Amino acid sequence: MSNPIILDEPLTVRELAERLDNNPIAVIKALMSMGVMANINQTLDLDTAILVSEEMGYTIAEAEPEFEELPVVDEGPAAPDRMRLYRDEPKDKLAARPPVVTILGHVDHGKTTLLDSIRQTRVVDREAGGITQHIGAYQVQKQGRTITFIDTPGHEAFTAMRRRGARGADIAVLVVAADDGMMPQSYEALDHVRAAGAQIVVALNKIDRENANPDRVYSELADAGLIPEQYGGETPVVSTSALQGTGIDELLDYILIVNDMNQEEIVANPDRDAQGVVIESVIDPRQGVTATLLVQNGTLKQGDSLVVGTVAGRIRAMFDWQGKRIKSAGPSTPVQILGLPDAPSAGDRFGVVASNKLARSIVEERLAKQAGSGPARITLEDVYRQLQAGSVKSLNVILKADVDGSLEPITDSLKELNNKEVRIEVLRADTGAISESDVMLAAASEAVVLGFGVEPDRGARERAESENVEIRTYNIIYQLLDDMERAVSGMLDPVYEPVTIGKAEVRQVFSVRRGKIAGCYVLDGKVLRNAKARLLRGREELWEGDIETLRRFTDDVREVAQGFECGISLKGYNDIEEGDIIEVYQMERVN
Ligand code: GDP
């Protein structure tokens, strides 16, 4: 064979035969001679594929590794500040983009009706009665300009986004029913919006109702810090009837005005790899996974390789929100994509990387890290994700009790548990059963819900399940305090110590362009590419640092187990001799 064949990823017997330009049967036979029974559709790992090809007389070229170190995926900051997504872009590349709008408010105040009404009145090229598919977002035209709406039921996506710091929306429409006024979820929604740094427009809905009382709502809004423009404040309040379609045009006009007032913030760089956030994803039995993504920065193209949370894939096909096939999508565009092997979670960020192979490696690394760091669920034992205020961490608590008289002694005792490093923050202390609203607040603020003499109702229980919020109930005060004390001590800065996980003996040393590679045999335990290592010669420790590369044959691998050979290079160190021992260790938490 004159031209070497390059193999760089696992492939099926059929695919290998195609690459070798040979018959699949010949490959199966060769595999059998090596003691491997495989059918034509079976996937061979890279080592086996190379071995069998060589066995068949082919020359297999060493595939150049695409990377030495896995690059950081550029999916934008996970930080609370939405604007950081655009701040680092070159100023001359920034261009205006459509505002992204979300609709929030108390249940039954008319969010869904309003979203539907906006869709119906403003979508021009839609035949009447056409089937509207909901993909979690849509776009409308007003004054020849585009507005993107996030169209997800209730709070879900917004909470998920907020928790992951994705902060999808530029403008939030707070829907308040004129006959009902500000209700618990209205206040909660307001907290979400403020925390997300989005601009607010109030839709004073159900204005058609006989018992509508706008003045009452105005003053409630003012009390909540939203001084209506009508009162000389800065918050636009638009009267709407989502049911009758009145006030919709005005609402859209206001959205554009708010957009223009914040023009310098509602920008993006279309001329780069896309980054953004998952709006929703579903598994369709026929199509596989379809995911709705919101492009926040850059331009997303068909064929792009994506890392989405812990899912890697290539975009096979892309559609706009009306189901029309598109090849590329710029900032603020919602798109539905096909090609992901698994469903990502709403609120997960995505970034584009150079190849599918690279995407898979990054995801593997993330999964490995996750496996090492325990479940992602927020629980007392796992220690809540720690909010850092300087060097002080706080543990957020929502406290519900059966009687008023219990609240104060408990909050006082909780305060006594505060120490130099950790502070317990009681976000809400109230009487009554644990409700869904308590859980929503807990989800958004990463709090635990404590019940004293009370239980969660069904809605709260279900919500806690879906939002991964922990609810703990007690009947005895000291048990509650005991648990909290443990949580607080668990939040103290962790102490790490080195724990040896494997040993490898250097059997041969190879010189390569960039330094030395130690050909090793793993004596016991395992070698992990992410681990740290010491180089021992006799009893002397010569070096300590990071493993740079770990290979089996020509392949970069994450792990090599006892009894196998591998090539190891050490970061910035080349004085390696035959007979040296490489001791591999990891820093593990001991408290
Ligand atoms: P959501 O829970 O906030 O999504 O509220 P919905 O959109 O489901 O609306 C709840 C109820 O209020 C439904 O019966 C709607 O028909 C009704 N509704 C919504 N908007 C209006 C409105 O502007 N006027 C009147 N009269 N009813 C409305």
Residue 174 bridge partners (DSSP): 104, 202
Non-local (6+) Cβ contacts of 283 within 8 A are: 289, 343
> Token digits for 400?
């519900």
Q: How far is the CA of 150 from the centre of ligand 1 (A)?
A: 18
Q: Where in the chain are the domains?
A: 5-66, 98-265, 275-370, 380-491, 496-589
Domain 5-66 class, CATH top level: mainly alpha
pLDDT tier for residue 11 given thresholds of 50, 70 and 90: confident
206 lines ligand 1 (CB under 6 A): yes
Provide the pLDDT confidence category of residue 395 given band limits of 50, 70 and 90: confident
Tokens (6 digits) for 325: 């096939």
User: In the CATH hierarchy, which fold is given to the domain comprising 380-491?
Assistant: Rossmann fold (3.40.50)
Q: Which two tokens stand for residue 436?
A: 């869904």
pLDDT of residue 84: 59
* Residues in CB range of 161: below 8 A, 6 or more apart: 167, 168, 196, 277, 346, 347
Task: For a ligand 1 pocket test, name from 243, 246, 251 the mutation site with the most ligand atoms within 8 angstroms of its C-beta.
Answer: 243
Residue tagged 């953004």 (tokens): 276
Q: Which superfamily does 496-589 belong to?
A: Translation factors (2.40.30.10)
Query: Which ligand 1 atom sits closest to the C-alpha of 244?
Result: 23
- For the domain bounded by 98-265, which CATH number is listed? 3.40.50.300
What distance in angstroms lies between residue 239's CA and the mean position of ligand 1's atoms? 14
CA-106 nearest atom, ligand 1: 3
Span 531-581, pLDDT tens digits: 999 999 988 889 999 999 999 887 888 899 999 999 999 998 999 999 999
CA distances from 128 to 121, 134, 252 (A): 11, 16, 22
CB atoms within 10 A of CB 339: 20
303: Cβ contacts below 8 Å, ≥ 6 apart:
314, 315
Strand partners, 104: 174
Name the residue with the closest Cα to ligand 1, atom 16.
243
- How far is ligand 1, taken at its centre, from the CA of residue 112, in Å? 7
Helical spans, DSSP H, in 353-403: 356-372
Cβ proximity of 507 and 567 under 8 Å: no
Among 524, 532, 522, which residue's Cα sits nearest to residue 587? Answer: 532
Is residue 523 scored above 80 in pLDDT? yes
Pairwise pLDDT comparison (582 vs 76), residue with the higher score: 582
pLDDT of residue 66: 39
Distance in Å, CA 117 to ligand 1 centroid: 11
Could you tell me which of 307, 281, 308 has the C-alpha nearest to residue 292? 281
pLDDT tens-digit profile of 13-49? 898 999 888 888 889 888 888 777 888 888 887 778 8
| Cβ of residue 559 lying under 6 Å from some atom of ligand 1 | no
Stretch among 59-68, 82-91, 526-535 having the lowest mean pLDDT = 59-68
Q: Give the number of the atom of ligand 1 that is nearest the alpha carbon of residue 107.
A: 2
Q: What is the chain's length?
A: 591
Q: What is the pLDDT of residues 228-259, one digit of tens each?
A: 998 889 999 999 999 999 999 999 999 999 99
Share of the chain above pLDDT 90, in %: 37
Which CB contacts under 8 angstroms, 24+ apart, belong to 113-118?
113/242, 113/243, 114/173, 114/175, 114/203, 114/205, 114/240, 114/242, 114/248, 115/149, 115/151, 116/242, 117/242, 117/243, 117/245, 117/248, 118/149, 118/248, 118/251, 118/252
Q: What is the pLDDT of residue 130?
A: 47
Share of the chain above pLDDT 70, in %: 84
Q: Which band of pLDDT confidence, cut at 50, 70 and 90, is reported for residue 96?
A: very high
Ligand 1 centroid from CA 206, angstroms: 7
Q: Residue 1 has what pLDDT? A: 42
Same fold, 98-265 and 496-589: no
Task: Determine the topology of domain 275-370 in CATH.
Answer: Elongation Factor Tu (Ef-tu); domain 3 (2.40.30)
Asked if residue 209 has its Cβ within 6 Å of ligand 1, the reply is yes
pLDDT for position 38? 80
Query: At what angle are helices 13-20 and 24-33 packed, to 10 degrees?
Result: 110
In this prediction the pTM is: 0.58
- Three-state SS at 21: coil
Mean pLDDT over 469-483 rounds to 87
Protein residue closest via CA to atom 6 of ligand 1: 110
